[in-house]
DNA sequence: CTGTTACCCAAACGATCGTTAGGTTTATCC
DNA sequence: GGATAAACCTAACGATCGTTTGGGTAACAG
């Protein structure tokens, strides 16, 4: 039961960071959102930065578990795993207010806070690795990594546009076209027909 | 000569907003960066928000002039215009510390500040319109708009990755593949050869 | 029951935030 | 050259920032 409060702080902080950004989220905001008094947060975390780091670490763990690890389960055909990964990513971000906290912080703090930068890089690397492993079953490893990086970029951009235009179709197209990269017989013809 | 100082304030603010974000840029920072004392900035702008709006308006005007308007010059073949647009966008962002201020603010402030949101939307719409107009010469208008939106998303994502991984290759690939969308004879074959 | 630790609150800290008020300098115009 | 206004500085404002201090309470160990 002890970890519940700590987790509640991380939960609140994570949501606020995602929706309002890091610098625009105050300890008072987090306090009001998690039920704990402002000063009490410092019982669990040395400061705001370390709290954010814990939040980012949680995102990394969660996405590894729920999104990227299933993609490496070799008992399932690669094309199915790719379809599952694409669909999970799509569902993960659609309707999630504030989009992707990793992408948001990547553009907000840039490399000003190395601990953030390192975690953001890890997150993107995980994502790219999962995609590259799957794509390498059909395309070469080198080309697969390029394609994986491009997919991650496109999805992140689609999430950005989703926030700006309230339109989730770019994200859906990114998912659909990703799946087709392992479709048999170079299914571009099937798609355009 | 009167507009010089005002422009200097906008210049400084724009650079700082792009590199450090909106909330993490203080009026004191802007003051120190433009040579004007903090209080003096309020002679030109009612507040920080209005200064930022002026900065965003300048970005819209600049990118219209230098990037998007040349794309609509019908005296040049569409495929050449697309190649020029892609190259200009690539050069515009590569090496530009902090990436794209519009994308950064889109993810940082989201829709919390409607005046920002409107300008960000305008910026993306301009970009998409330029691309869609060119792509519509070969593909249908509806499909061209989808493609344009996807390109914008991918480029923005590539800029994000460029900031995270210090790797500009995703952006270069996005440019290259964009150009090929108007290449004769569906130049995918040429590209993969 | 006593001592110790973890948990959490209440109150305040100095620093910095965006903003403002009032005065001084500089340019403009008749 | 004197009046008018724009440009700019100095100094401070209240509010909020992240953080700290000190104490109180509950839980658990001996």
pLDDT for res A97: 93
* Residue B192, pLDDT above cutoff 90: no
A160–B103 CB contact, under 8 Å: yes
pLDDT the model gives residue B95: 84
- Residue A180 forms contact with B (CB below 8 Å): no
Q: What residues of chain B lie within 8 A of the CB of A161, using their CB?
A: 124, 149, 152-153, 156
Is residue A25's beta carbon less than 7 angstroms from any atom in nucleic acid strand D? Answer: yes
Check residues A183 and B70 and name the one with the higher pLDDT: B70
Assigned token pair, B178: 């964009």
Q: pLDDT at position A184, please?
A: 80
For residue B173, which residues of chain A lie inside 8 Å, CB to CB?
Answer: 146, 150
Do B161 and A108 make contact, defined as CB atoms within 8 angstroms? no
* pLDDT value of position A183: 85
- The whole-angstrom distance between A60's CA and the closest CA on chain B is 16
Q: What percent of chain B has pLDDT over 70?
A: 94
Confidence of residue B193 (pLDDT cuts 50, 70, 90): very low
The stretch B133-154 carries a mean pLDDT of 97
Q: How many CB pairs under 8 A join A and B?
A: 126
- Could you read off the pLDDT of B30-67 as tens digits, one per residue? 999 999 999 999 999 999 999 999 999 999 999 999 99
Distance CA A68, CA A87 (A): 12
Compute how many other C-beta atoms are within 10 angstroms of the C-beta atom of residue A96.
15
DSSP state, A168? -
pLDDT grade, residue B183 (50/70/90)? confident
CA closest to C7 C1', residue = A43
Kindly report the backbone phi and psi dihedral angles of residue B73, in degrees, each rounded to the nearest multiple of 5, phi listed first. Answer: -80, 100
A46 touches strand D (CB under 7 A): yes
Of B99, B158, B164, the CB nearest to A124: B164
Residues 12-51 of A with CB under 7 A from strand C: 35-40, 43
pLDDT for position A3: 53
Tell me the C-alpha to C-alpha distance, in Å, between residue A99 and each of B44, B126, B143, B158: 35, 23, 26, 17
CA distance B3 to chain A (A): 30
B24 CB inside 7 Å of strand D: no
Mean pLDDT of chain B: 93
Q: Name the residue among A4, A81, A68 with its Cα closest to residue A36.
A: A4
CA of A46 to C1' of C4 (A): 22
- The pTM assigned to this predicted structure is 0.93
The rounded distance, in Å, linking the Cα atoms of B81 and A5 is 58
- CB-count exposure of residue B121 (10 Å: 0-12, 13-18, 19+): middle
Residue B187 is predicted with a pLDDT of 47
The pLDDT confidence band at residue B185, using thresholds 50, 70 and 90, is low
Residues A128, A153: Cα–Cα separation, whole Å:
10
pLDDT recorded at residue A5? 83
Q: Which chain B residues are Cβ-neighbours of A173 within 8 angstroms?
A: 146, 150
Q: Which residues of chain A have pLDDT under 70?
A: 1-3, 185-193
**Can you tell me the distance from the alpha carbon of A129 to that of B11, in angstroms, rounded to the nearest whole number?**
40
Query: Is residue A168 packed enough to be buried (19+ CB in 10 Å), middle (13-18) or exposed (0-12)?
Result: middle
DSSP string, B38-56: GGGHHHH-SSHHHHHHHHH
| Contacting residues 39-98/B vs strand C (CB within 7 A) | 39, 42, 46-49
Q: pLDDT value at position B17?
A: 98
Q: B1 falls in which pLDDT band (50, 70, 90)?
A: very low
Chain A residue with CA closest to B116: the answer is A164
Residue A50 contacts B where some CB pair is shorter than 8 Å: no
Burial of A19: CB neighbours in 10 Å, binned 0-12, 13-18, 19+:
middle
């Amino acid at each position: 039961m002890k970890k519940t409060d700590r987790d509640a702080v991380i939960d609140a902080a994570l949501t606020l960071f995602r929706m309002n950004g890091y610098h625009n989220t105050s300890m008072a905001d987090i306090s009001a959102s998690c039920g704990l008094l402002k000063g009490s947060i410092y019982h669990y975390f040395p400061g705001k930065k370390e709290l954010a780091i814990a939040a980012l670490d949680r995102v990394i763990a969660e996405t590894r578990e729920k999104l990227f690890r299933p993609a490496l389960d070799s008992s399932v055909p690669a094309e199915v795993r790719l379809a599952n990964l694409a669909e999970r990513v799509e569902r993960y971000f659609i309707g999630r207010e504030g989009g992707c906290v990793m992408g948001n912080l990547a553009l907000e703090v840039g490399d000003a806070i190395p601990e953030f930068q390192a975690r953001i890089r890890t997150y993107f690397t995980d994502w790219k690795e999962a995609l590259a492993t799957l794509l390498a079953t059909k395309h070469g490893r080198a080309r697969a990594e390029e394609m994986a990086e491009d997919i991650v970029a496109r999805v992140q951009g689609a999430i950005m546009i989703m926030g700006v235009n309230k339109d989730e179709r770019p994200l859906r197209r990114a998912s659909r076209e990703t799946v087709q990269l392992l479709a048999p017989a170079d299914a571009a013809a099937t798609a355009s027909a």
